[in-house]
Amino acid sequence: MTDNAANPTAQNAQYSTLSPALAVGDQEPDRNLALELVRVTEAAAIAGGHWVGFGDKNLADGAAVDAMRSLLSTVHFNGIVVIGEGEKDEAPMLYNGERVGDGSGPLCDVAVDPIDGTRLTALGINNALAVLAVAERGTMFDPSAVFYMEKLVTGPEAADMVDLRLPVKQNLHLIAKSKGKKVSQLNVMVLDRDRHKPLIEEIRAAGARTKFIMDGDVAGAIAAAREGTDVDALMGIGGTPEGIVAACAIKTLGGVIQGRLWPTSDEEKQKAIDAGHDLDRVLSTDDLVTSDNCYFAATGITDGDLLRGVRYNKDKVLTQSIVMRSKSGTIRVVDGEHQAHKWESYARIK
């Protein structure tokens, strides 16, 4: 008999034909889950934050993984990691297919990124986050076929106007019109990669400004959808798993993320076709996460456009987190003050 717990694709297939109510059994994730998830991202951020600026991204990531996994075991749900640190043979913890939670409560898909921006953390650069997303079982898009996707993210004003298939200039004019701005006033966030040189030229030729990020396009996507960040859009090619995580947040924020799979080789292209993917299809927010009851939680590790980073002050650790629930449309920014000697013991952080 096949054990689907180690195969997230099989898990999704198992539940994809069920109605949302059946897919989660008799229980749906409820509002109490939100603050439980914040405790998890706080633990990961505090653990990983100890390694900010030390130049070793593996040490930082390892500490955050340990802390996140430890706290996840206390959360009241029956989760399966569908977006994790990798396959079981390459990731000893929080691997794709691993069961997390205390085993009771609702059945959930779980996407983890103990540090979104390990290089940012190692170098002490802005926008590193500890991130966690949860949705009803079988509702997250399976990203296993193609690791990268072309993305377009913007806020609620232009959500029904933009289209990834349109020229960059036209999308920017639509965003500017919807926001009541001039194109020259738009800030477009782009990952600093050689592959984006043509995109950057198009953005600048249209008259808009570019804002580069080294890594961490989950934070960039949320900043593009959230008011008050001075980021109007995110464009370019980034990770497919990060796009799904961001979609869980955008479900609450009311903006839009559109994605189109971007294979990096003929082998990956064929893998996607064999998996039944249409490489010309533009995936919407609802395609990336079909559930209308999903959660997103993040805690800042370094300062950024979205959150303040971890602060260590004598025996206190200060954190800032954001938690969202799409069903209620609730967004909470949580400032935490932790007694270090108690917290480290409680979260089993070394």
- The response to whether 2 counts as a known ligand-binding position is no
Is 242 one of the annotated binding-site residues? Answer: yes
- Report whether 117 belongs to an annotated binding site: yes
Q: Is 85 known to sit in a ligand binding site?
A: yes
Q: Is 66 annotated as a binding residue?
A: no
H or E element that contains 100? strand 99-100
Residue with tokens 């069903």, as numbered in its chain = 327
The reply, when asked if residue 39 is annotated as ligand binding, is no
Residue 80 is classified by DSSP as: E
If one counts every other C-beta atom within 10 angstroms of the C-beta of residue 207, the result is: 15
Beta bridge mates, 129: 116, 300
SS3 56: coil
Going by their DSSP bridges, the two strands 187-191 and 233-239 should be labelled as parallel
On whether 239 is known to bind a ligand per the annotation, the reply is yes
Asked whether residue 194 is marked as a ligand-binding residue, the answer is yes
15 annotated ligand-binding residue: no
330 is in an annotated binding site: no
Q: Is 30 annotated as a binding residue?
A: no
Is 295 labeled as ligand-binding? no
- Short-list 196, 193, 188, CA closest to 172: 188
If you ran DSSP here, which 8-state letter would residue 140 be given? Answer: B
217 marked as part of a ligand binding site: yes
What is the spatial distance between Cα 212 and Cα 190, in angstroms, rounded to a whole number?
5
Q: Compute the distance between CA of residue 206 and CA of residue 200 in angstroms, rounded to an integer.
A: 10
Got the DSSP string for 291-315? Answer: -SS-EEEEEESS--SS----EEETT
Annotated binding site for substrate: 116-118, 148, 193-195, 215-217, 239
Annotated binding site: 61, 85, 113, 116-118, 148, 193-195, 215-217, 239, 242
Annotated binding site for Mn(2+): 61, 85, 113, 116, 242
